[in-house]
Structure formats: structure tokens, C-alpha cells
Amino acid sequence: MGTYTIIATSAMGLEAIVAREVKDLGYDCRVENGKVIFKGDETAIARANMWLRTADRIKILVGEFKAYSFDELFENTKKLPWENYLPEDAEFPVQGKSVKSKLYSVPDCQAIVKKAIVERVRKAYKRTSWLDETGPLFKIEVAILKDTASITLDTSGQGLHKRGYRIGQGEAPLKETLAAALIKLTTWNPERPFLDPFCGSGTIPIEAAMIGQNIAPGFNREFLSENWSFIAKDIWDKVRMEAEDLANYDQPLEIFGTDIDHRMINISKENALEAGLGDLVKFKQMQVKDFVTDLEYGVVVGNPPYGERLGERPEVEKMYKEMGQAFNKLDTWSVYMLTSHEDFEQFYGKPATKKRKLFNGFIRTDYYQYFGPRPPRKDKHEA
Ligand SMILES: C[S@@+](CC[C@H](N)C(=O)[O-])C[C@H]1O[C@@H](n2cnc3c(N)ncnc32)[C@H](O)[C@@H]1O
């Protein structure tokens, strides 16, 4: 077992939520811009991929050093123990980025890092000929920030938002990682009802159901590092078995997804089936203004249209107003809405208890949070 410096990359603004997830997995961590960094072994790499709902990718930091010249970049890259990671036939493309650094030519940095690794690997495997690169894929990145080069290996492959269940989607689907973060920012727990009144392709309710039943977000997909020999196959098997054991399929849930567009409801149902949730989430075509319920202490999380396109704004503002009127009647519920509309509170009809700036892709949004009362504590002898 080795010890690695592991980086869970995160969307801007979600670092604290990713860090909480990393701590919940049992690893101490520190936070930098867009990154949560922790130490762990091969099992930690597999578990982070399997369990982190809000991180973008899991990377291994292979080395970090100052690089003011191409020579320094080359020599320091060559010093790293690449043969511990790469087999002789590894395919290893190198991506790069550079910010505020002397070495600003990204194609040159990539080429130099590639050359240094090739030299190291050829020597380590005593190759006289060129490397074939016909084997497993290792995606390497050289990121240079203020003359410090960090060289990482991407263990995830496809971004962690690709859970494998979204076979259909609407116009503006939310990233699964952001959907999970929106839920984690609420006080929802599986005992409370949950509603997304703008469910689109069902991302938020599906993520809520997976959180509610403790289903690992990575259970339905594969990761690039499953093909690497330094992470033994039985580690992945154990991590998958652990995920199976920890899932609580018996947890009852009251999760609803509604949308004005019946086509979206069909897509949501298909995605939920693909996620293995059957008909656990109740999807129904409905306008937000028509939502009524006798259930209490529920939580609403929604990503409504923002009205950014020309001509859409008045209609969206009218809808926000109607939503405010409908939800005002649910006096025990908490409501959380993500939108880029700066005057959301004015149309919704009341100021939010709390606002949090978040990016939905490149769109700057606010997460408007209206806290309802806490549900009464259940008597231990009840139920
Ligand atoms: C930004 S999309 C939500 C995307 C969703 N979070 C996902 O991941 O697919 C907004 C959704 O609101 C729905 N919508 C628009 N007006 C509505 C209304 N008055 N009542 C309910 N849903 C509405 C649209 O049909 C659309 O699917």
C-alpha cells in the first residue's frame, strides 16, 4: 500500500461541501481554491471516486516543484518515480495549463513533461526503442500557477458528475455534482418530504433519493484507474462491496419531482429507472403554482428558468410570483431556489433567510434559502 496526495477537484464555491464529504469518509483534508487535498492509500482513491457526490474529479499529485525554466520543468519531472505508476505500455497524453508564470507556453510545457516522462520510463524499463503506448490510459496534467508546477494523474476519467444514469436530458440540465451540493446545503434528511418543482430531467430528485438511501454516486459507472495495475482489482471489488453493504434500500422516502413539461417527466422517469430507483421518486406533470400538499416540514430545492433569454423575463417573473404565493401556504416547509435573476426575492414576495453565491457552469447564480421551522423531535418510543 502506498500513500498518495489525493486531490478532489471542486467547482468554485463548493470546496467546503467537498471537504465535508472527504471528512465524512474519514480523511483529514485541507482546502485550496477549487481543490480539497488529503492523504490516503489506493483504497482512499477508490472510495473517493465511489462516494464523493460533489467533487468533479479525483487526482493524484505526482509531484510539485518550482519551475522557472524549461530545464527545471524537464529535470524535476524526470526525477518523479513514474515507473511506480505507469506500466511499460502505458498511454499517457499530457494536458497543461499555466497561470501567472514564466513558463506560459502550454504546448511547450506539455511537450517537455511528456519528453521527461518518456525518458524516465524508457530508462526504468530498459527500453532501447520507443514506447508503444498501447496499454492502459493515464491522463497527466501539468498545471503551472505562479511558477509552481503541479503534475497530476486523473484517476476518474469521465468527470464524477457522470453517474451513468442520465440517459435523457432537457435544455438546461444541472450537473449532478451541483445538484447534490444544493441538497447538501439544505437541512433535508430522509425523514422529511422533498420536492423539486422544476425537475427537468430529474437530476435533483434522483440525487436526493441516492443521498436518502445512501447509494454511492459512483456505483453505476467505471473509473479510469480501475485499469491501473498499482490499484489492485480486489480494492475496487471491496469498495463496491462496501457500497452495496452501506446502501439502505429499505429507507422510505417521500420525494417528488414535478415539471410543467410532460416530456420532461417521461425523461425523469427513464433516468430514475436507469439509476436503479424504480418508481421511488414520484414524478408528475404540474405547474409550480398548483403544488399543494398535506405533508409537513418538507424541503423544496429547485432550479427554475432564469429568464436570461430575450423576451422570457416577464413570464419568468410572473411564475416566480405565483410560486411565492403557492409556497407561502406551506408554512412548515423550507424552500431553496437557484437562479441568476437578481430580483428573485422581490417577485417571490419575501427576502431570503440566507443567500449563497454559486456558479452554475459559467452563470453566476444565487442560492436563495428560506428556512422553515425545524420539524419536532420524534419521541424515541414513537414509530
Ligand atoms: C433549468 S430547467 C431545470 C433542469 C433540471 N434541474 C435538470 O437537471 O434537468 C427548468 C425547468 O422548469 C420547467 N418549468 C418552467 N416553467 C415552469 C412552471 N411554471 N412550473 C413548473 N415547471 C416549469 C421547465 O420545463 C424546465 O424543465
Mean pLDDT of 202-207: 98
pLDDT in tens, 21-56: 999 999 999 999 999 999 999 999 999 999 999 999
Does pLDDT of 383 surpass 60? Answer: no
| Mutation choice for ligand 1 from 166, 198, 288, 338, CB with most ligand atoms inside 8 A | 198
* pLDDT tens per residue, range 83-139: 999 999 999 999 999 999 999 999 999 999 999 999 999 999 999 988 999 999 999
Mean pLDDT of the region 329-339? 97
**Ligand 1 midpoint to CA 335 (Å):** 16
**What is the pLDDT confidence band of residue 170, given thresholds at 50, 70 and 90?**
confident
Question: In angstroms, rounded to a whole number, what is the distance separating the alpha carbons of residues 267 and 279?
Answer: 13
- How far is it, in rounded angstroms, from Cα 251 to Cα 249? 6
Q: Which of 165, 256, 259, 284 is the best mutation target for the ligand 1 pocket, counting ligand atoms within 8 Å of the beta carbon and taking the most?
A: 259
* Residue 18 near residue 54, CB atoms below 8 Å: yes
The verdict on the CB of residue 176 being under 6 Å from ligand 1 is no
**What rounded mean pLDDT belongs to the chain?**
96
pLDDT of res. 347: 98
User: Is there a contact between 263 and 171 (Cβ–Cβ < 8 Å)?
Assistant: no
What confidence tier does 187 reach under pLDDT thresholds 50, 70, 90? very high
* Average pLDDT score over residue span 197-209: 98
DSSP, residue by residue, 30-80: EEETTEEEEEE-HHHHHHHHHH-SS-SEEEEEEEEEE-SSHHHHHHHHHHS
Q: What band does 380 get if pLDDT is binned at 50, 70 and 90? A: low
Percent share of the chain, pLDDT over 90:
94
Pocket lining: 307 vs ligand 1, CB cutoff 6 Å: no
Q: What is the pLDDT of residues 340-379, one digit of tens each?
A: 999 999 999 999 999 999 999 999 999 999 999 999 987 6
Atom of ligand 1 lying closest to residue 287 CA: 20
2 CA → ligand 1 middle, Å: 47
C-alpha 237 to ligand 1 mean position (Å): 39
Q: Residue 172: its pLDDT value, please?
A: 85
Would the pLDDT of 171 be above 90? no
Q: Is 207 in the pocket of ligand 1 (CB under 6 A)?
A: no
The band of 381, judged by pLDDT with boundaries at 50, 70 and 90, is: low
Q: What is the mean pLDDT of residues 287-300?
A: 98
- For the stretch 225-271, pLDDT in tens is 999 999 999 999 999 999 999 999 999 999 999 999 999 999 999 99
Ligand 1: does its nearest atom lie under 6 Å from the Cβ of 198? Answer: yes
- Asked whether the predicted pLDDT for residue 288 surpasses 80, the reply is yes
Residues 6+ apart with CB under 8 A from 222: 157
Q: Could you tell me the distance, in angstroms and rounded to a whole number, from the CA of residue 198 to the centre of ligand 1?
A: 4
With a cut of 90, say whether residue 309 has pLDDT above it: no
In whole angstroms, what is the distance from residue 9 CA to residue 15 CA? 8
Q: How crowded is the C-beta side of 117, counted as CA atoms within 13 Å?
A: 31
Written as one string, the DSSP assignment of 188-229 is --TTS-EEETT-TTTHHHHHHHHHHTT--TTTTS--GGGG-T
Residue 241 burial (CB count, 10 A): 11
- 327 alpha carbon to ligand 1 midpoint, in Å? 16
Q: Which of 201, 260, 313, 322 to mutate to test the pocket of ligand 1 (most atoms within 8 A of CB)?
A: 260
Q: Residue 61: which of 3, 122, 1 has the closest Cα?
A: 3
The answer to whether residue 169 scores a pLDDT higher than 90 is no
The partner residues of 35 in beta bridges, in order of sequence, read: 9, 32
Regarding the beta carbon of 8 and ligand 1, being less than 6 Å apart is answered no
